[in-house]
Amino acid sequence: MSAGAPDEVNSFVREAMEILEIGPDLQDVVLNADKKLSVQLRVPMDSGEVEIFMAHRVQHNNSRGPFKGGFKYHPEASLDDVESLANLNTWKTAVMDVPFGGAKGGVMVDPAALSARELEKLTRKLVQGMKEVLGPWTDIPAPDIGTDERVMAWVFDEFSKHKGFSPAVVTGKPLHLHGSHGRDTATGRGVLYAAREFLKASLYTNVRDTSFVIQGFGKVGGWAARFLHEAGGRIIAVADSRGATYNEKGLDIPRLTGHMARGGTLTEYEGGGPILSGPNFLTLPCDVLIPAALGGVINAKMAERLQCKAIIEAANAPTTMDGDKVLRERGIPVLPDIYANGGGVVVSFFEWVQNLQNFQWDDEEVSRKLDRHMTDAYHQINTLATDHKVPLRVAAYVLAVKRVADAERHRGFD
């Protein structure tokens, strides 16, 4: 997220609070983080030296259920960064109506610079340092930037050593280690379901008749591209950190995915023409732009230059406050991040439920339940947008803030 992201999220929250006429006492409760924990991790390296890494966990709000949010491994995973994402997760879980609150964790490390053995040691030290604030009914981590199902397996194993067998302490685990079908594809699949409903209601069209430009071809953008392509969508351009490729007639996404799996790059792909993947990429003419990588990429200046008809925010906080204002003025509808990329947290909820039941659903059931969650949430947001005559982003925050505020009131926040 960008440096100003906490203020940006809170500005949307405050706008929703004004509509809901929420008083100052309750505002303070829901805007401020509940707990912040920082620990030093002393990790023995392969060289024999001991390095120290800073780790943070911010628990923002748990009025609706256990804290929920990923652990990211990134050199810039500062306390401020983690806190802003924990804040965002409170509203994401609320708008998707899953019984969790918001949290986030981070370790200031470049995971690519560590060996597999060092990465495992780091993760186990992390759990040892934070085990008292984690738990299936307390705070449930998940994968994030720089972490994956292997790291989540280590979290589960280390926590269980100290607290007893606890598969529900973490989601995003390997399928054969109490994971869930559909978890690795959940956010991308959710983008498809969100796009389907959004296009139908806002642009009066469907996926098959829509062209898409996707920034990001990783865990989110890559799967979103695949599912949209399977549904008949025309993906005309995709980009990652190393380059981009473009084909006005539509990219062959399965073929492109295979090319990437063999170690190829987007610029080398023969089924498209290489183009610049920097800021200008976002200005390509298309029906729908899907930022699925970095936060803060659509600022006011960029928003003025966009040539899309609509935006689906698959990344966290890709649009700044100033950028959002310009998009509103230009009449470009935006499907906000707290809803559009909510498929991941929904299937995390499914995994948690399956772990508590000691039961596993098949992929078809997970997809069906996710579809229902995404569809129901969209129509609730769209109804609020119509009733209050506000953009979808504001409506999503109104829905989320009302749920959190209602929970605080019923629990007796004072």
pLDDT tens column, 328-356: 999 999 999 999 999 999 999 999 999 99
Burial grade of 341 (CB within 10 A; 0-12, 13-18, 19 or more):
buried
CATH of the structural domain 186-335, one choice from 3.40.50.720, 3.40.630.30, 3.40.50.1820, 3.30.365.10 = 3.40.50.720
Q: DSSP of 174-237, one letter per residue? A: -TTTT--TTTTTHHHHHHHHHHHHHIIIIIS--GGG-EEEEE--STTHHHHHHHHHHTT-EEEE
2 assigned to a ligand binding site: no
pLDDT given at position 26: 87
Distances (CA, A) of 395 to 12, 60, 300, 388: 10, 21, 21, 8
Section 51-63 average pLDDT? 97
Distances (CA, A) of 65 to 53, 90, 98, 217: 30, 10, 9, 32
Pick the catalytic residue: 72, 104, 173, 219?
Answer: 104
Per-residue pLDDT band for 5 (boundaries 50, 70, 90) equals low
pLDDT tens column, 275-305: 877 788 999 999 999 999 988 899 999 999 9
* pLDDT reading at 72 higher than 70: yes
pLDDT tens column, 107-131: 999 999 999 999 999 999 999 999 9
pLDDT given at position 3: 41
* pLDDT reading at 2 higher than 70: no
Per-residue pLDDT band for 28 (boundaries 50, 70, 90) equals confident
Q: 35-167: what fold?
A: Rossmann fold (3.40.50)
pLDDT given at position 4: 44
Give me the chain's average pLDDT, please. 94
Per-residue pLDDT band for 24 (boundaries 50, 70, 90) equals confident
Above pLDDT 90, what percent of the chain?
86
Per-residue pLDDT band for 6 (boundaries 50, 70, 90) equals low
Distances (CA, A) of 348 to 168, 186, 344, 345: 10, 9, 6, 5
pLDDT given at position 312: 98
Residues of the chain with CATH 3.40.50.720: 186-335
Section 377-397 average pLDDT? 96
Look up residue 99 and give its DSSP letter.
S
93 assigned to a ligand binding site: no
pTM: 0.92
pLDDT tens column, 224-250: 999 999 999 999 999 998 899 999 999
pLDDT given at position 31: 87
348 assigned to a ligand binding site: yes
Active site residue 249: no
Neighbours of 252 (CB within 10 A): 16
Section 367-395 average pLDDT? 97
Residues of the chain with CATH 3.40.50.10860: 35-167
pLDDT given at position 414: 54
The span from the CA of 341 to the CA of 76, in Å, is: 22
Q: For residue 414, how many C-alpha atoms fall within 13 Å in the half-sphere facing its CB? A: 6
**Location of structure tokens 């078809």:** 364
389 assigned to a ligand binding site: no
Contact between 102 and 93 under an 8 Å Cβ cutoff? The reply is yes
